[in-house]
Amino acid sequence: MFDKWRGFRHKQLPAECRERLARMAVEARGNILKMTTVAGSGHPGGSMSSLEIFLLLYNMSNIDPKASRRDDRDRIIVSHGHTSPGVYASLAAAGFFDIKPALYSFRKVGSPFEGHVEQSVPGVEWDTGNLGQGLSVGVGKAIYARLSGQSFHTYVAMGDGEQQKGQIGEARRAAIKFDLNDITAVVDCNGLQISGKTSVVMPQNITGGWEADGWRVLEVNGHDLDELYEAFRTARLDGSVPYMILARTTMGRGVSFMENDERYHGAAVKKEQLGDALSELGIENNMEELLALRNDGDIPSFEIRRPEYPDVKPGEPVTYGIDEKKDNRSAFGKALLSFADANQGMDGFTMAVFDCDLAGSVKTGAFGGKYPDRFFQCGITEHSTATAAGALSTEKAISVWADFGVFGMVETYNQARLNDINHSNLKLFCTHSGVNVGEDGKTHQCIDYFGLFNSLYGWKVITPADPNQTDRVVRYVLSRPGNFAVVMGRSVTPIIPDESGEPRFAGDYEYRYGRMELIRKGEGLVLVAAGNMLAQGFAAWSRLDDKGRSISLMSVSDWSDLHPDDLSMLAEYEHVAVLEDHNIRTGLGTAVGAGMIENRFHTRLTKMGVAGYAPSGNSSELYTKLGLDGNSVAEKLRALMSDKSQAAKSVL
Amino acid sequence: MFDKWRGFRHKQLPAECRERLARMAVEARGNILKMTTVAGSGHPGGSMSSLEIFLLLYNMSNIDPKASRRDDRDRIIVSHGHTSPGVYASLAAAGFFDIKPALYSFRKVGSPFEGHVEQSVPGVEWDTGNLGQGLSVGVGKAIYARLSGQSFHTYVAMGDGEQQKGQIGEARRAAIKFDLNDITAVVDCNGLQISGKTSVVMPQNITGGWEADGWRVLEVNGHDLDELYEAFRTARLDGSVPYMILARTTMGRGVSFMENDERYHGAAVKKEQLGDALSELGIENNMEELLALRNDGDIPSFEIRRPEYPDVKPGEPVTYGIDEKKDNRSAFGKALLSFADANQGMDGFTMAVFDCDLAGSVKTGAFGGKYPDRFFQCGITEHSTATAAGALSTEKAISVWADFGVFGMVETYNQARLNDINHSNLKLFCTHSGVNVGEDGKTHQCIDYFGLFNSLYGWKVITPADPNQTDRVVRYVLSRPGNFAVVMGRSVTPIIPDESGEPRFAGDYEYRYGRMELIRKGEGLVLVAAGNMLAQGFAAWSRLDDKGRSISLMSVSDWSDLHPDDLSMLAEYEHVAVLEDHNIRTGLGTAVGAGMIENRFHTRLTKMGVAGYAPSGNSSELYTKLGLDGNSVAEKLRALMSDKSQAAKSVL
């Protein structure tokens, strides 16, 4: 019913809107109370302080309650996701769905109305729970508006407690650098957090921090609809700078015994007190009905339309000749540019590459030079960049982030997790991985990424073996939905030859995710090399071959989803030896071992990997030091094969 | 030779000091150039801009070059760790060690002079590489000064590029909240970072940000020894507020072709140009000698004296009776307080507990109430808190941080990694782990911690099975060095009984790290329960036992270091089934599987765990939904045991 007013079009809040919103607010407060008391948990206090903010946003911004995923909608991000009861109550009031199932199924297994806001509910733009993420999401959404040539506005609602998180500062500065003036942040300043007053728990000059970073701050009474409306309108119309609206509010607003009591941050009103609370609001108490429905009421399931992954061309693969001196990261940079060129000018093609002050090393410089409008140099702000790039990737756009492994996967693991939960399609390219980072030393050695990203259900990790495979993998991942991390080392990687001496990963070769590649066929022992270590594996194979010992050599460039047929192939050998420059506890060797035994293949397993934090040094010296170079591996395998005392045993 | 001036005691920089420092600066610049050119890599540009800062700090602060780990020393943290050549050159100039081996062994495998500053070098207080960490370390060190009653000063040298990192803001606010006025930060503002001008890469109002957070800023010429000295002295003497000294400098200072050229941020001068650079400084070029020594020169190894772990008493264990309704986190809170009480008043006993706005939930409130001076409420600043608590734990103090699993392990994984590299002894207590967090939903479900922390070589992870084991584990980890994460759920956990019905983990029971515990002896199948899931495992065992099927039940509360004897015990069964509420790819089941096959024990393995992000809901409903409750597990095991088609096979 607010359609004609949406977009904060009217100079002031029209009287009929104000009245309606005020009535909605009373009812919504009642619904917040019912929802949390029926569930026996949840966060009513902040829901009630943020309520007028939510009601104005969901009723007055440009979003169609009946088509809540239209591409031109305003994006409304709720960063303090624990205020889900307030969000659900406001969305229902604005006509997105019927409130009743939320009242009885909130926080129940199977209900879309989860404890923190999730995209299972129409109108929820982003799943949040960990604080301090929302503004970074807003940056990604505002970048999408610019790239897609749309004029939608992005709103980010936040709590005051979460202003303590550092990531928010990173996002603020990115918004200013990129002139993202179509973002409005609104901070619910109720002055309380779980442990008490924010001014006591962690004193902070919120306004000063935002202003220092270049934002304009408007302070309003967050329960005064007119003041809030005016601030939202000013922020939307200005366009010269992003605004933060600092909304002074009262936790638990509307129920006297809840007001300014931090215990209601994270606890529901007790059942016996609900009647009192509701009657203060003038709302009937139907708790008994709701409790009954909690047991047997229907739980809705909403269809959430996510954009289809863009229809793109992979471009023509590049083949590197057998004698070329090339590192995988350069092959990545070239493939990235070639992909962009192949799709440039295609209808609706949108793409962005994010960098954190390492373009020269991660080889995105050529892309940035040719497509400066699509290149986002974010400086040393990995946390916020990870989230912004993830947020963009949920839109109709190709979103690429390239960084060193230690920053792109290790430092920002949690951002990758939250992106994954949010159904992102991020293409993450990480260079300088493994001990191959060399002289930068242990703080920079990304040897743990597999233990990390294999703990994320949606991410697929690929470590290509050589520049040819890298080229094909890059095109593969850019052409399909989902989160992919393509992991590369730093140094020159030899081109792997096939039996006839031609490049192995070129010609007819087609990359298949999740499958091993037999490089050389031998017998007795199979050396399984993690993609980035295939060169060392190949060197070991060659040395043994020269001495008349013919082993098999297998390349595995992705090992989240080992295929039973491949494991079965390994099981044909007496001995499986795994070579990687990752942490030996959580890398390929462990995945192969667990996969073998689960599939009931019983063969000898030897793991070769990194058993401790490694020193700083030239990467080839490091491989030697760690026994992971071709010579050392060949020696080790020879010893293994001749050790009769290690004959296979089984307890079966 | 500066002993009598140390502590910035003199009103102005004495003339003889100034002259000497100026001479040192020329020589040190030459050493920076030699070191990086001989190594063929490294970061000369920032080393030369930070040089006067380093020289003043290492020569004029209270630190004894010949006893660089004295407990009363000033702490000097270098946050921009890539300026290691500048640090090494300055330390050598100040008499900490002979410079020559650094010149020829910098960045060579086996040399203490690693690419980023590391504690292998005397005078280096903290290994840094990932940016934005140093000020948080400083907070931990300043807290140590307060707790131990010492008056040392803490200096944190930083780069200007890293000011883009959000964590610095968290640390700034913590310093203000806790009145840590004995910290001085000094920011080397050379205006450049890898990708170019900081004002272009990511514009930032550095002074405004620090001032908004309550710091006093002094701007000086960072190459003017007198100005820098005066600022350091002012900051040290004031004591009413912490200072940030903003030092305007020139990247590559001292060599004309390097000045203000960002290419020298991360690249050495080429060999053929070194002579020119050195002659501009008036320094002889002995590169040939150094290159020869790089091959065969002696590499020193320094003895670094770390404080011994405090000699503490574990206190008397508490026993919870078989019918008590208790959650593990409450048992932790009680044990923590009892430990503090047992050691209170002991000579030199120092302890701190850090909280991030969750004391009520993680049960550190009682400790905080009784020992308010030792309780640090840090608000929602997990990244900085993780580092500060880690830094404190490297001093002669017990450092405890308690948080939800998702914040204490997942969000701050990289901080845990950097602490580990820094030989920390952090005691991390994480509650609300697994899907046991329940209604808070997937963003809060910490089901991946094992894949994460098992990737860190120094961390030991323990998930106790019940309140009695929790009590004993808490006392165990508090009483010994090393990094420990004790992981607990949220809900009430039944007391596990022994065969006679008495509490299993009490009486004579003594916790042994790394060993499994046989709970019930049966045959054919052994159910291995991850500590926090033992209650569900016990329920399954009971149901099967009631129906006359006697299986074995094993508890594993720590599985980074599975013992071969324990694996051998498992191998006595036809079938091993593993139960956990962690990610099934990277949890206990995978560790057991890989451990079995590596030890060449071949038996059937079935993993039961969490195979996808789980919904929001009551934890017992969730267990049922995921098939991890006692009933579902019993059903599954019965089916497994009767499935003849799954008879064991082996390819051996």
Reply yes or no on whether the pLDDT at B500 is more than 90: yes
**Distance between CA A366 and CA B72 in Å, rounded?**
52
Same domain, A465 and A572: no
pLDDT tens profile A556-590: 999 888 999 999 999 999 999 999 999 999 999 99
Q: Answer for the pair B574, B604: CB distance below 8 angstroms, yes or no.
A: yes
Q: Answer for the pair A168, A373: CB distance below 8 angstroms, yes or no.
A: no
Q: Answer for the pair A236, A8: CB distance below 8 angstroms, yes or no.
A: yes
Coil/strand/helix, residue B511: coil
Using a CB-CB cut-off of 8 Å, the residues of chain B touching A131 are: 380
Q: Answer for the pair A376, B373: CB distance below 8 angstroms, yes or no.
A: no
Residue of A nearest to B384 (CA): A166
Per-residue pLDDT, B643: 72
Answer positive or negative: Cα dihedral of A252, A256, A260, A263.
negative
Using a CB-CB cut-off of 8 Å, the residues of chain A touching B173 are: 164, 202-204
pLDDT tens profile B395-432: 999 999 999 999 999 999 999 999 999 999 999 999 99
Q: What is the CATH number of the domain that holds A66?
A: 3.40.50.970
pLDDT tens profile A286-300: 999 999 999 999 999
Selection from B235, B219, B125 nearest residue B180 by Cα: B235
Q: Which residues are within 8 A (CB) of A30 and not within 5 positions of it... i.e. 6 or more apart?
A: A278, A281, A283
Domain with B342, as residue range(s), is 328-487
**Distance between CA B261 and CA B282 in Å, rounded?**
21
Using a CB-CB cut-off of 8 Å, the residues of chain B touching A130 are: 406-407, 411, 443-444
What average pLDDT does chain A have? 96
- Of A273, A295, A317, the residue that ends a domain is A295
Q: State how many domains chain B has.
A: 3
From edge to edge, which strands make up the β-sheet containing A525-530?
A: A517-520, A552-556, A525-530, A575-583, A604-610
Give burial (CB, 10 Å; 0-12/13-18/19+) of B509. Answer: middle
Selection from B460, B651, B491, B634 nearest residue B558 by Cα: B460
Same domain, A47 and A111: yes
Angle at which helices B328-343 and B467-478 cross, to 10°: 40
Same domain, A94 and A161: yes
Same domain, B526 and B482: no
Indicate the helix (H) or strand (E) that contains A159.
strand A154-159
User: Smallest Cβ distance to A165: which of B81, B174, B381?
Assistant: B381
Residue of B nearest to A43 (CA): B440
Beta carbons of B441 and A118 less than 8 Å apart: yes
**Distance between CA B636 and CA B642 in Å, rounded?**
10
Per-residue pLDDT, B255: 98
Mean pLDDT of B475-480: 98
Test mutation, A83, A204, A431, A597, chain B, max B CBs within 10 A: A597
Same domain, A257 and A344: no
What are the beta bridge partners of residue A607? Answer: A578
φ and ψ at residue B526, rounded to 5 degrees: -115, 130
Per-residue pLDDT, A644: 54
Q: How far is CA B67 from CA A459, A561, B62, B187, B306, in A?
A: 49, 53, 11, 27, 12
**Span between the terminal Cα atoms of chain B, in Å:** 72
Q: Is residue A412 part of a domain?
A: yes
Per-residue pLDDT, A642: 87
Indicate the helix (H) or strand (E) that contains B157.
strand B154-159
**Distance between CA B77 and CA A269 in Å, rounded?**
48
Using a CB-CB cut-off of 8 Å, the residues of chain B touching A42 are: 439
Q: What is the CATH number of the domain that holds A560?
A: 3.40.50.920
**Distance between CA B360 and CA B581 in Å, rounded?**
24
Mean pLDDT of B252-280: 97
Residue of A nearest to B114 (CA): A616
Mean pLDDT of A301-312: 94
Min Cα distance A565 → chain B (Å) is 14
Q: Which residues are within 8 A (CB) of A87 and not within 5 positions of it... i.e. 6 or more apart?
A: A47, A54, A78, A117, A121, A123, A124
Per-residue pLDDT, B652: 29
User: What is the DSSP secondary-structure string of A4-54?
Assistant: GGTTT-SSS--HHHHHHHHHHHHHHHHHHHHHHHHHT-S-HHHHHHSHHHH
**Distance between CA B594 and CA A599 in Å, rounded?**
12
**Distance between CA A602 and CA A463 in Å, rounded?**
27
Reply yes or no on whether the pLDDT at A652 is more than 50: no
A296 token code pair? 């047997």
Quote ipTM for the complex. Answer: 0.96
pLDDT tens profile A40-74: 999 999 999 999 999 999 999 999 999 999 999 99
Selection from A20, A54, A32, A25 nearest residue A258 by Cα: A32
Beta carbons of A594 and B598 less than 8 Å apart: no
Reply yes or no on whether the pLDDT at B609 is more than 90: yes
**Distance between CA A589 and CA A579 in Å, rounded?**
7
Per-residue pLDDT, B651: 30
Per-residue pLDDT, A651: 30
**Span between the terminal Cα atoms of chain A, in Å:** 72
Residue type, A356: C
Q: Which residues are within 8 A (CB) of A580 and not within 5 positions of it... i.e. 6 or more apart?
A: A434, A529, A530, A533, A587, A588, A589, A608, A609, A610
Min Cα distance B341 → chain A (Å) is 24
Split at pLDDT 50, 70, 90, the class of B644 is: low
Q: How far is CA A404 from CA A485, A619, B13, B158, B457, in A?
A: 12, 16, 43, 21, 21
What does DSSP assign to residue A327?
Answer: B
Beta carbons of A161 and B602 less than 8 Å apart: no
**Distance between CA A462 and CA A560 in Å, rounded?**
9
Beta carbons of A195 and B377 less than 8 Å apart: yes
Same domain, A580 and A479: no
Per-residue pLDDT, B648: 41
Using a CB-CB cut-off of 8 Å, the residues of chain A touching B440 are: 115-116, 129
Same domain, A395 and A256: no
Q: What is the largest CA-CA distance in chain A?
A: 91
**Distance between CA B417 and CA A234 in Å, rounded?**
45
Reply yes or no on whether the pLDDT at A649 is more than 60: no
| Stated length of chain B | 652
User: What is the DSSP secondary-structure string of B53-92?
Assistant: HHHHHHHHSS-BTTBTT-TTSPEEEESSGGGHHHHHHHHH
User: Smallest Cβ distance to B594: which of A195, A205, A594?
Assistant: A594
**Distance between CA A455 and CA A449 in Å, rounded?**
10
Reply yes or no on whether the pLDDT at A490 is more than 50: yes
Higher pLDDT: B644 or B303? It is B303
Min Cα distance A101 → chain B (Å) is 15
Q: Is residue A195 part of a domain?
A: yes
**Distance between CA A133 and CA A78 in Å, rounded?**
9
B8 φψ region: left (φ > 0), alpha (ψ -120 to 50), beta (else) = left
pLDDT tens profile B24-57: 999 999 999 999 999 999 999 999 999 999 999 9
Reply yes or no on whether the pLDDT at A183 is more than 70: yes
- Of B295, B313, B338, the residue that ends a domain is B295
Q: Is residue B547 part of a domain?
A: yes
Beta carbons of A600 and B600 less than 8 Å apart: no
Same domain, B530 and B452: no
Min Cα distance B438 → chain A (Å) is 9
Q: Is residue B195 part of a domain?
A: yes
Beta carbons of A625 and B109 less than 8 Å apart: yes
pLDDT tens profile B309-330: 999 999 999 999 999 999 999 9
B587 token code pair? 């949890």
Per-residue pLDDT, B345: 92
Beta carbons of B173 and A202 less than 8 Å apart: yes
User: Smallest Cβ distance to B204: which of A173, A440, A613?
Assistant: A173
Split at pLDDT 50, 70, 90, the class of A3 is: confident
Selection from A206, A196, A84, A258 nearest residue B358 by Cα: A196
Coil/strand/helix, residue A472: helix
CA dihedral in degrees (B571, B573, B574, B577; nearest 10)? -90
Per-residue pLDDT, B650: 32
From edge to edge, which strands make up the β-sheet containing A427-431?
A: A375-377, A351-355, A398-404, A427-431, A483-487, A459-462
User: Smallest Cβ distance to A357: which of B161, B360, B612?
Assistant: B161
Per-residue pLDDT, A650: 32
User: Alpha helices of A189-283 — where are they, by DSSP H?
Assistant: 198-201, 206-212, 225-238, 271-281
Q: How far is CA A583 from CA A449, A588, B93, in A?
A: 9, 9, 38
Q: Is residue A313 part of a domain?
A: no
Q: Is residue B555 part of a domain?
A: yes
Same domain, B137 and B283: yes
Mean pLDDT of A343-368: 96
Per-residue pLDDT, B560: 86
What does DSSP assign to residue A117?
Answer: -
Selection from B522, B473, B468 nearest residue B495 by Cα: B468
Split at pLDDT 50, 70, 90, the class of A1 is: low
Beta carbons of A377 and B201 less than 8 Å apart: yes
**Distance between CA B316 and CA B314 in Å, rounded?**
7
Selection from B486, B511, B360 nearest residue B426 by Cα: B486
Same domain, B207 and B158: yes
pLDDT tens profile A200-234: 999 999 999 999 999 999 999 999 999 999 999 99
Higher pLDDT: B645 or A538? It is A538
Selection from A144, A143, A154, A151 nearest residue A177 by Cα: A143
**Distance between CA B217 and CA A203 in Å, rounded?**
19
Same domain, B482 and B521: no
Min Cα distance B194 → chain A (Å) is 6
Same domain, A236 and A368: no
User: What is the DSSP secondary-structure string of B553-584?
Assistant: EEEES--SS--HHHHHHHTTSSEEEEEEEEET
Residue type, B230: E
Q: How many CA atoms lie within 13 A of A247 on its CB side?
A: 33
Beta carbons of A651 and B603 less than 8 Å apart: yes
A246 token code pair? 């600092």
Percent of chain A topping pLDDT 70:
98
Q: Is residue B613 part of a domain?
A: yes
* CB burial readout B189-211, b (16+ within 10 A) else e: bbbbbbbeebeebbebbbbbbbb
How many CB pairs below 8 Å do chains A and B form together? Answer: 375
Beta carbons of A173 and B616 less than 8 Å apart: no
- Of B273, B295, B317, the residue that ends a domain is B295
Asked whether the whole model's pTM tops 0.90, one would answer yes
pLDDT tens profile A83-113: 999 999 999 999 999 999 999 999 999 999 9
Mean pLDDT of B69-95: 98
User: Smallest Cβ distance to A590: which of B583, B590, B603?
Assistant: B590
Per-residue pLDDT, A348: 87
Reply yes or no on whether the pLDDT at A406 is more than 90: yes
Q: Is residue B318 part of a domain?
A: no
Coil/strand/helix, residue A320: coil
Beta carbons of A615 and B110 less than 8 Å apart: yes
